[in-house]
Structure 1
Amino acid sequence: MAISCVGGLVLDMTVSDKKYHGMAVFQPVINGVGGNLVAVQASRLSTGLHSRASIGSLPADTPHICFNPLTFFCRKNMTSKTARVLLAMVIPGHLIFIYSIKFMKAGHTSITMNFVAIYCAAALLQVMVLLFICNFLVHWMWKMGDDPDNFAIPYLTALGDLLGTSLLALVFYTLYSIGDKDFDVGD
């Protein structure tokens, strides 16, 4: 609950500044995509644990927890492969939503190349961080005796909201700072 409240405060503080008013329409998109993708991974990991072990003990063939994000995403195990597939969905998914918003004239922000590049980088970073944390959190909760389906997914989606909102605010701040000359950036 506290994580979501902080995310709400970040959104409120950012949107209340007229320069960043245009970010409100993108907030459900970045948070929804990130939260849904990490929920898929958490559910998949939890199902795998349920099928191979009792809550409280990790299966013997569980790979060691990797503290290096690069190594985590480049391993040949199924968890890393699934994470890469989910990462591959981020950019195309967000492009569909960005251009749907543009087509429906729903936002107050011009869709410039700067915006698309910085926004997509933020969305990719959000999902990478969430997938990396997901691997730790699901296995840790399982080992502590908690069902990750019930406990990990709410934490991950709340963290996704906080991270997504913060990164989105950073996107708009960056666009405004570099002088993206579409005057409705932030209008």
Structure 2
Amino acid sequence: MFKEISEVFILIPALVGLKGNLEMTLASRLSTAANTGQLDNPKQQMLIASTNLAGVQVQATVMSSLAALVAVGLGAWSKGSVDLQHAAVLSASGVTTAFVSALSLGLVMVGVIIGSRKLGINPDNVATPIAASLGDIITLSLLAEIGSFFYRFKDMWYVLLLICAVFFLLIPLWLVIACRSSSIRELLRSGWYPVIIAMLISSTGGLILDHTVTDPRFKGMAMFTPIINGVGGNLVGIQTSRISTYLHCISVPGVLPISTKALCSHPVITFCSSGVNSKSARVLLLLVIPGHLLFLYTVYLLQGGHAAINATFICYYLCAALLQVLILLYVADVLVRLIWRHGLDPDSFAIPCLTALGDLLGTSFLALTFRAT
């Protein structure tokens, strides 16, 4: 399937980014609920978990189908034609993958956050990275297996479209469950914009990957793309979740605390002040170089990726990764304040845009790195 349907490389960043966004926003919302004591009551715990999981299923079904349509559209724009069989395979694979991974990852997130709360660990520090990394590997694995299975039946494209229709028929059930919570009702009413924007940004990164994956000059880029994008997404997800929890604990949406009155802070304030969020930004930034060196060494041991991981490539790569995270952490500081000032919940609105921006920056900087070396 990966060889015959090149549009899948456009779908991958959008679908993986979508799943990461949905699970990370779920993890961030549940972490905030845990840190504010809302998950301490068993009945409240069940209500919050079930409504959040149902809301994620609605978003996953709708957005995965839209991601497949965008991938087909961008592929048609590049090739000048649409293959109906390939479009059916992409649509069925995307929707099925999103459904299965949303359910499995959602349950894992609920368990991780409740367990962290009981063990006295701050869920903000562990939940979003687990959501992002598990989301990547599970989504990619499911897409490969499900897509390969559906590809065998590409001639029966109408059956594949029928499978998509079945998942859409389940949406009313998820809506009934999700609407038991007023916050999830509001999320399903107005929370589509950041996810759609994030998907479009990720699709742009996918278009870059689609054009470079077959070019000999960029051999191995597909190996490094999930690494640089995953690290950036994980780190900015932690920072965003921490800032959001901090604001939830000391203020109410629409009112910025005195310590963060300025909507657009200077980068020096973001990284060099004495505030708790600035300290966490510095710690996260310090993780970039050693983390990527470990991953580069792992790729080298597995003899994958770039044909020659040399000193020049490593220097360019580390500069690209550091610049990516620097930009993301600063944008997170500004964007979370802006969203909070407008009375919205950063847990649901900030993370999708930031992780998608991380995907676009990571893919673009990585392409420049390969081009330069």
TM-score when normalising by structure 2: 0.45
User: Residues of 1 paired with 2:257 and 2:268: CA distance?
Assistant: 24
Other-structure match for 1:136: 334
In 2, Cα distance between the equivalents of 1:61 and 1:77?
Answer: 9
Aligned to 1:20: 218
> What secondary structure sits across from 1:26 in the alignment?
helix
Alpha carbons 1:34, 1:127 under 8 Å: kept: yes
User: Amino acid of the residue matched to residue 78 of structure 1?
Assistant: V
- Asked if the contact 1:27–1:168 (Cα under 8 Å) also holds between the matched residues in 2, the reply is yes
The structural deviation recorded for 1:62 is 2.0
Question: 1:101-127, CA deviations, whole angstroms, 9 ceiling, x for partnerless residues?
Answer: 111112243111111111001000000
Q: 2-side partners of 1:34 and 1:138: how far apart? A: 17
Q: String of CA shifts for 1:42-89, please: whole Å, max 9, x gaps.
A: 000000000011111112232534543244322222222111110000
Query: Of the candidates 346, 352, 356, which is equivalent to residue 148 of structure 1?
Result: 346
Gaps of 5+ in 1: 176-187
Among 125, 145, 148, the alignment partner of 2:323 is 125
Aligned to 1:44: 242
Secondary structure of the 2:287 match is: helix
The residue that corresponds to 1:184 in the other structure is none
Q: How does 1:40-79 map to 2 (within 5 A)?
A: 40-62=238-260, 64-79=262-277
Q: For the residues of structure 2 that align with 1:63 and 1:100, how far apart are their CA atoms?
A: 44
| Cα displacement (A) at 1:23 | 1.1
Report the Cα distance in structure 2 between the residues aligned to 1:90 and 1:2, rounded to whole angstroms: 26
Distance in 1, matches of 2:265 and 2:307, equals 38
Structure 1 distance, partners of 2:330, 2:249, is 22
Equivalent residues of 1:73, 1:83 under 8 A apart: yes
Q: CA RMSD of the aligned region, Å? A: 1.3
Aligned to 1:101: 299
Larger displacement relative to structure 2 (98-107 or 42-51): 98-107
More helix by share: 2
Give the letter aligned to residue 334 of structure 2: F
Q: Aligned residue for 1:35?
A: 233
Tell me the distance in 1 between the aligned counterparts of 2:246 and 2:300. 40
Higher mean Cα deviation, 68-77 or 134-143?
68-77
Q: Distance in 2 between matches of 1:151 and 1:62?
A: 19
Structure 2: 5+ residue stretches without partners: 1-198
1:173 maps to 2:371? yes
Structure ranking higher on relative contact order (CA contacts 8 Å, 6+ apart): 1
Aligned equivalents of 1:171, 1:144: Cα separation in 2: 38
Counterpart-to-counterpart distance in 2, 1:131 and 1:22: 27
Q: Distance in 2 between matches of 1:109 and 1:89?
A: 26
Structure 1 position 162 matched with structure 2 position 364: no
Check the 8 A contact 1:53/1:59 in 2, yes or no.
Answer: yes
Number of matched residues?
175
Partners of 1:76 and 1:54 lie apart in 2 by: 23
Contact 1:66/1:72, CA 8 A, preserved across alignment:
no
Identity of aligned residues (%): 54
Runs of 4+ in structure 1 displaced over 3 angstroms?
65-68
- Tell me which of 282, 304, 319 is aligned to 1:84: 282
